[in-house]
Amino acid sequence: MATLKYKLPSPYTTVASPPPVEDEAYTRHLQDLRLTSPSNNQTYGVAIFGIGRAGTIHLRNLLNNRRTELLYVVDDDVNKLQKIKNYYSINTNTTQLITSKDGKLVYQDPRVRFVVISSPTFTHEELIREALTNRKAVFCEKPIADNIESTIKMFQLAKQVNQPLFSAFNRRFDPSYLSLRNRVRAGEVGKVLTVKVHSRDSPLPTLEYLKISGGFFHDSCVHDIDQILFALGELPDKVVSFSHANIPEIKAIDDYDNISALLSFPSGANGIIDLNRHCTYGYEQRLEVFGEKGMLKAENKAALDNVEFYTEKGVSKVPIDYSFASRFKEAYEMEIEHFVEVLDGTTELRVTENTNLAVSKIATALEESARSGKIVHLTWTAKEAIN
C-alpha cells in the first residue's frame, strides 16, 4: 500500500503521448491504416540501372514504394533480367527489362521522372550525364564519378538543367545515426571532443567486386568519413591513416583490408575510424560521440531476435546483423522516401554537392597518407563549407 498514493489516473482519461518521431515504421503503419499521407500521392516513373549488391535492394524498395512506378530495369546480364522477371512476377507490359544498349528508351520516355544508378562505378558519370541531359532526376550510388573534377562537372550539369542529383550516403537515413546526429547538434553532449566510427565488413566481398570498387577508401571508408562530417558539420584540417593488407588476394590488387584513420578538426575535435574488410562475427557498425557533457552511442542493432540463452557456460545470443543489406534495411527504404519528397518539393537534398566533394577529398587524402606514411594537411575555401 506504500505506493498506492502514486497511482496514476486511467490512461483513458488522459491524452496519450504521440509516438516518437524516430519510429518511422509505425508512422508508415498509421498512414497505411488511415490511408493518409503527409505528402501528395503523385507517382513518379523510375528506371533502375544495374542490379547488383545495392541495385537488388533498390529494386525491391522501388517495387514496394507506392509513390514509384518501375518502368525500366536495365542490366547487361540477359539471364539475370529473365530471372528478375520470374522472381518478382514483373509484368513486361508495364515494366521493360532491357540492356544498356537500349538505354535511350529510358531517356526518351517522358514518363520517367528519375533514374536510380547502381551499376559499377566506372559507368556512373556517363549514365548521369545522359539522364540529366534528358531532364531526368538522378539517384546514384556513390561515388558520382571516378574523380573530383568529373564529380564537379556532374553537379554543374544538374544545376544547369535544374534537376536533383543525389549521392546515396544511406547511413544518413538510419534512424539511430540520424537521432544521434540530431542530439549532437542540439548540444546534448556539449562541445564534441571525439567521434569514433567502428566499421567492419561482412561478408567478405568478392575479388571481382573489389577490383571494380574504386578501392577501400573510396568504396567503404567514404561512409565512415561522411558519418563524422554529418555529426560535426565541420571539415578536418589534417588527416593521417595507417593501413594494411593482411589478406594476400587483396594485397595482390594493391588495396587495403585494414584501415585506421585519424581526422583532426579546427574546433579541437578528433574523428577516429576503425575499418576492416572482413569481420567473422557479423557486420559491425558502431558510432560514438564524446563531448564535454557526456557521450552518445549508437550500438550494433539486435539481429533476428533478442532471445538470450542462459547455461552454466554463461549467456549467449544470436549474432549481430550479417551484412549491410540487413543492418541498413530501413536506411535504404528511407533514402528512397527522401528522394521522392525532394521531387515533391517538400524538402531539400540531405546529401549536398559540398558533402560529396569533401568526402572524396578526405578519402583521397587518407589514401595518400596510407601510402606515404605522412600526415596530410587540408585547406578549404568558404565555398566548400558543409552544414
The chain-wide mean pLDDT, for the chain, equals: 94
- What pLDDT shows up at residue 38? 63
Q: Which of 12-26, 143-157, 212-226, 284-298 bottoms out in mean pLDDT, i.e. has the lowest?
A: 12-26
Better-scored residue on pLDDT, 265 or 21: 265
Rounded-to-integer distance, Cα 192 and Cα 149, Å: 33
Across the range 204-233, mean pLDDT stands at 95
Rounded-to-integer distance, Cα 357 and Cα 269, Å: 21
**pTM reported for the whole predicted model:** 0.91
Rounded-to-integer distance, Cα 46 and Cα 61, Å: 12
28 falls in which pLDDT band (50, 70, 90)?
A: confident
- pLDDT digit string (tens) for 86-143? 999 999 999 999 999 999 999 999 999 999 999 998 999 999 999 999 999 999 999 9
20 falls in which pLDDT band (50, 70, 90)?
A: confident
Rounded-to-integer distance, Cα 153 and Cα 125, Å: 9
- What pLDDT shows up at residue 169? 96
Q: Spell out the domains of the chain, with CATH numbers in brackets.
A: 38-168 (3.40.50.720), 171-384 (3.30.360.10)
39 falls in which pLDDT band (50, 70, 90)?
A: low
Residues 154, 155, 161: CA angle, nearest 5 degrees: 90
By C-alpha distance, which of 20, 311, 72 is closest to 183? 20
- What pLDDT shows up at residue 305? 80
**Alpha-helical runs (H) found in 162-219:** 175-185, 207-211, 216
- What pLDDT shows up at residue 58? 98
Cell, residue 114? 528519375
291 falls in which pLDDT band (50, 70, 90)?
A: very high
CB 164 within 8 A of CB 343: yes
347 falls in which pLDDT band (50, 70, 90)?
A: very high
The CA-based diameter of the chain, rounded to the nearest angstrom, is 79
Residue with cell 550494433: 300
318 falls in which pLDDT band (50, 70, 90)?
A: confident
Residues 378, 382, 387: CA angle, nearest 5 degrees: 90
CB 66 within 8 A of CB 338: no
Residues 100, 104, 108: CA angle, nearest 5 degrees: 145
Sequential DSSP letters for 329-383: HHHHHHHHHHHHHHHHTSS--SS-HHHHHHHHHHHHHHHHHHHH-S-EE----GG
